[in-house]
A and B are shown apart, each in its own frame.
Chain A
Amino acid sequence: MLVEDYRAGDMICPECGLVVGDRVIDVGSEWRTFTNEKATKDPSRVGDAQNPLLNGGDLTTMISKGTGAASFDEFGNSKYQNRRTMSSSDRAMLNAFKEITTMADRINLPRNIIDRTNNLFKQVYEQKSLKGRANDAIASACLYIACRQEGVPRTFKEICAVSRISKKEIGRCFKLILKALETSVDLITTGDFMSRFCSNLGLPKQVQMAATYIARKAVELDLVPGRSPISVAAAAIYMASQASAEKKTQKEIGDIAGVADVTIRQSYRLIYPRAADLFPPDFKFDTPVDKLPQL
């Protein structure tokens, strides 16, 4: 049970007072730190805050580009040029992390999903079972899985929109990754997408809640067997918006949801006959149920 005495740099036993270490070098931060304007730059840190969990503990440092006049030789080229190949083994992984961050940024995903995606990618990459596949495809599939695991699934088409990989390839990689990592994901439900689709369409909260209720009821009553939950959600939003003051066309909803308008039409035809039962009891109808469009 040794105790460190910082002031003298000793390791002392508290029971008998024996000094074991002597002049032990203090590895804490620099003692003389002046607070200056740039409070973000913590002078006690000597390296960048790398992510050791994902990088495998890269402790190398690099020489940055010089700032003064002395760092440039006569032709204007910088004297010290070597900034490459510091971590060639994980260069592809770092590249993928950058790509993941870019993709997630396009659809405004929070940090926790990005971290989860990075972790998934690291696991898949280390396993090497999907080594032949394009890293971007694996990254996109990891992003899809991370969104699912966090309980906020994105449709494949939404991930496609921010990635250069086709939906088919993302789907293939998705299945391969689930097998490789031996995990599974929950089934998607209609409610997962309601808040996003409705706010993208600018629908008020009442309509969103009505659409959620309609979709849930439709699935419970098994009016739409075998239909994708996205299509059912889109049809429910259509019905709810047509019954309210904020009417949206099938094309607009199809655009937001990534569903063809004929698909919305098909699902709508299935739920239309029971429309009166599907609306929540406290819904205020702008257009009554019998005046709902019938396509």
Chain B
Amino acid sequence: MEQNNSLPPFQGLASPQGAMTPGTPIFSPMMPYGSGLTPQPVTNTNSLSLLEEQHRQQQASAQQGGVSGGSGQTPQLYHSQTVTTTTLPGNTPLYTTTPLTPMTPITPATPASESSGIVPQLQNIVSTVNLGCKLDLKTIALRARNAEYNPKRFAAVIMRIREPRTTALIFSSGKMVCTGAKSEEQSRLAARKYARVVQKLGFPAKFLDFKIQNMVGSCDVKFPIRLEGLVLTHQQFSSYEPELFPGLIYRMIKPRIVLLIFVSGKVVLTGAKVRGEIYEAFENIYPILKGFRKTT
């Protein structure tokens, strides 16, 4: 069967943070994976290691690089399919066959007003995943590297890895929160790495219900903004209290996004579940901000 990549079996590479034992071929089940944007044949390979997944992501991101936001695509495109049940360990190749519908990047007809030409950069992705088994936090904290556990302060193990620089909160119920990644792929990869760490410590960890809960993006419109004017005209959406916070808090309804708008022209967008919402929200706010540009 056709494989997207033809990597030699994983061996002899520097192990990612505290995870892999070199030499043993690792079979992880795969989800038919891809960015959803670029046309990809349905991949039914079932023997993917984390490294191959990384490679696949790099390919996907290289192909995806040209497509910027604001193309009006449906949000699902940016997020891989969520598969409900998959298991990590074992040599038995397991694969689920949710076929990917090949999507071609759709550029809509140029709208009446030109787009801003500015693309918000993602700064943080928060995601959750269920490892599917109860965990003993004390053994994890003692045996894993870069793990801290202070049960009196917080009831979870805080683990950090360096490769996608992320932090994970691992709870005893088996649920995990992964924060700090800069893209959806990196968040998923990091979550898998954490799951691998836990698996290596002897727990039957799975990778269930990976879901991105929040995405934060930021950008700069490159001109100063009159926040007083903005709060006057959009007062049902805005809240500007200089005593409480120096930025204007704009709660957009259509994609439900909260934007923090500052006098300097910097904008922070948060509350998105998919990348498209951030882009859409920025495209919505940009003409409004242009109207409140400071003239001096």
Contact = CB atoms under 8 A, between A and B. Distances in A.
Interface of A: 155-156, 171, 174-175, 178, 184, 187-188, 221-222, 225-230
A5 B224 CA distance: 75
B108 to A, nearest CB: 35
A156 B242 contact: no
A188 B243 contact: yes
B263 A156 contact: no
A168 to B, nearest CB: 9
Given A225-B263, A226-B264, A229-B242, 13 more contacts: A155-B243, A171-B241, A174-B241, A175-B239, A184-B235, A187-B240, A188-B242, A222-B294, A225-B224, A225-B264, A225-B294, A230-B242, A230-B243
B231 A187 contact: yes
B262 interface: yes
Nearest to A179: B239
B5 interface: no
B241 A226 contact: no
Contacts, number: 36
Contacts of A184: 235-236
B246 A226 contact: yes
B243 A228 contact: yes
Nearest to B239: A175
B262 A226 contact: yes
Contacts of A221: 296
Contacts of A225: 224, 263-264, 294
Nearest to A182: B236
A288 to B, nearest CB: 28
Contacts of B243: 155-156, 171, 188, 228, 230
A222 B296 contact: yes
15 contacts: A156-B243, A171-B244, A174-B241, A175-B239, A184-B236, A187-B228, A188-B242, A188-B243, A222-B294, A222-B296, A225-B294, A226-B246, A227-B242, A228-B246, A230-B242
Nearest to A144: B243
Contacts of A226: 246, 262-264
B196 to A, nearest CB: 40
Given A184-B235, A187-B228, A187-B231, A228 B296 contact: no
5 closest cross-chain pairs (CB), A and B: A226-B263, A228-B242, A184-B235, A171-B244, A225-B263
A174 B241 CA distance: 10
Contacts of B240: 187
A273 B181 CA distance: 44
Contacts of B296: 221-222
Nearest to A219: B228
Contacts of B264: 225-226
